[in-house]
Amino acid sequence: MTQPDGKPEGSVADAVAGNWVDRLAPPPARPYLRLSRADRPIGTWLLYIPCLWGVALAANNGSGFRMWDLWIALSCGIGAFLMRGAGCTWNDITDRDIDAQVARTRSRPIPAGQVTARQAAVWMAVQALIAAVILFSYNRLAIGLGILSLLPVAVYPFAKRFTWWPQAFLGIAFNWGALLAWAAHAGEVPAGALLLYLSGIAWTLYYDTIYAHQDKEDDALIGVKSTARLFGQQTGRWLAVFLVLAVLLFAAAVIVTLPAARGVWPMVLALAGVWAFGWHMVWQMRQVDLDDPASCLRAFRSNRDAGLIVVPFLAVAAML
């Protein structure tokens, strides 16, 4: 069966058309996969990319890549899928009453009546436990950071109730993988890792402010706070600020990490990747119409490509 919009029955409004969950997943599993946003993979990418940044930039400190880094990259990808799923499930449990009042989110599984909050809580726990098995394959520092990351994940769904800056809380949670992956590679969290983490937070403020413009009218009606509502007509200027901060902090992370003894070319190559990252965001700003939800969603999703642009530059620089 299909809905009036032509999507399969039970499909979420902002899911990717023709996604694999709607087409291929067994019907009983679909509501749970939709809770995990498996039909909207962009969030997994945005959680995973800082992990790739972390391990790739850490390898530029003179240590180079090791075979263990293949496991870090692979396991962080699996962990990003699982923890993004657990975090989104938690978000849907806490926001079920709000989601029912917003056009874009009322089709989510809990407000749509596809699953109960209790069933969602069990699903959340299953995902988190599987992710914990992966986490405990890392060193002690990375394990500790992974456990500590649960705090911002737990707080984030409530942030829009008490602050105009919930996007900052998302940035704190979503970029934690940069610290964790760096620690898993190097067994430490130096200044370069912290600068990279701050760059990721600025990046999240950039892309999630664009994302929040989709819901600004509904959010205003029900009293939900966001940077989109806070900035209003000044959003473009704020996006430029976040863009510049993300690029400058990333460049600073590269500069303090790469040893001078490695020569100039690894530095040039790594900074070229940061430059490409920044120009992709400039291109987004030129394309996006903040009063058009579809345009906002396209710009938001394009940040997967912006974040991935940097990775091969850092990887090749580490091998020079």
Angle between helices 166-174 and 176-186 (to 10 degrees): 20
Element (H, E) at 21: helix 20-24
Angle between helices 235-257 and 42-58 (to 10 degrees): 30
Please enumerate in sequence order all residues whose Cβ is within 8 A of that of 183, keeping only pairs 6 or more positions apart, or say none: 138, 139, 141, 142, 145, 189, 193
User: Comparing 276 with 107, which gets the higher pLDDT?
Assistant: 276
CATH 1.10.357.140 fits 29-319, yes or no: yes
Residue type at position 78? I
As a whole number, mean pLDDT of residues 220-226 equals 87
Q: What is the pLDDT of residue 95?
A: 86
Please state which of the ranges 212-221, 224-233, 239-248, 276-285 shows the lowest mean pLDDT.
Answer: 212-221
Q: What is the pLDDT of residue 232?
A: 94
Q: What are the structure tokens assigned to 38, written together?
A: 């498996």
As a whole number, mean pLDDT of residues 102-108 equals 82
Q: What are the structure tokens assigned to 246, written together?
A: 């993300």
Q: What is the pLDDT of residue 170?
A: 96
Say yes or no to pLDDT of 36 above 80.
yes
Say yes or no to pLDDT of 301 above 90.
yes
Please state which of the ranges 120-134, 164-178, 217-231, 280-294 shows the lowest mean pLDDT.
Answer: 217-231
Q: What is the pLDDT of residue 225?
A: 94
CA distance 162 to 225: 8
Give the pLDDT band (50/70/90) at residue 85.
very high
| Contact between residue 33 and residue 292 where contact means Cβ atoms under 8 Å apart | no
CA distance 87 to 78: 14
Give the pLDDT band (50/70/90) at residue 56.
very high
Please state which of the ranges 64-73, 156-165, 198-207, 212-221 shows the lowest mean pLDDT.
Answer: 212-221
Q: pLDDT tens digits for 151-167?
A: 999 999 899 889 999 99
Please state which of the ranges 39-48, 103-112, 202-211, 276-285 shows the lowest mean pLDDT.
Answer: 103-112
| Contact between residue 178 and residue 39 where contact means Cβ atoms under 8 Å apart | no
Say yes or no to pLDDT of 5 above 80.
no
Q: What is the pLDDT of residue 7?
A: 57
Q: What is the pLDDT of residue 213?
A: 95
Q: What is the pLDDT of residue 8?
A: 67
| Contact between residue 219 and residue 225 where contact means Cβ atoms under 8 Å apart | yes
- Residue ranges per domain, the chain? 29-319
Q: What is the pLDDT of residue 6?
A: 53
CA distance 22 to 31: 10
Q: Where are the alpha helices (DSSP H) in the chain?
A: 20-24, 30-35, 42-58, 67-94, 96-99, 117-135, 140-148, 150-162, 166-174, 176-186, 191-212, 216-222, 227-231, 235-257, 264-287, 293-301, 303-319
As a whole number, mean pLDDT of residues 297-317 equals 97
Residue type at position 69? D
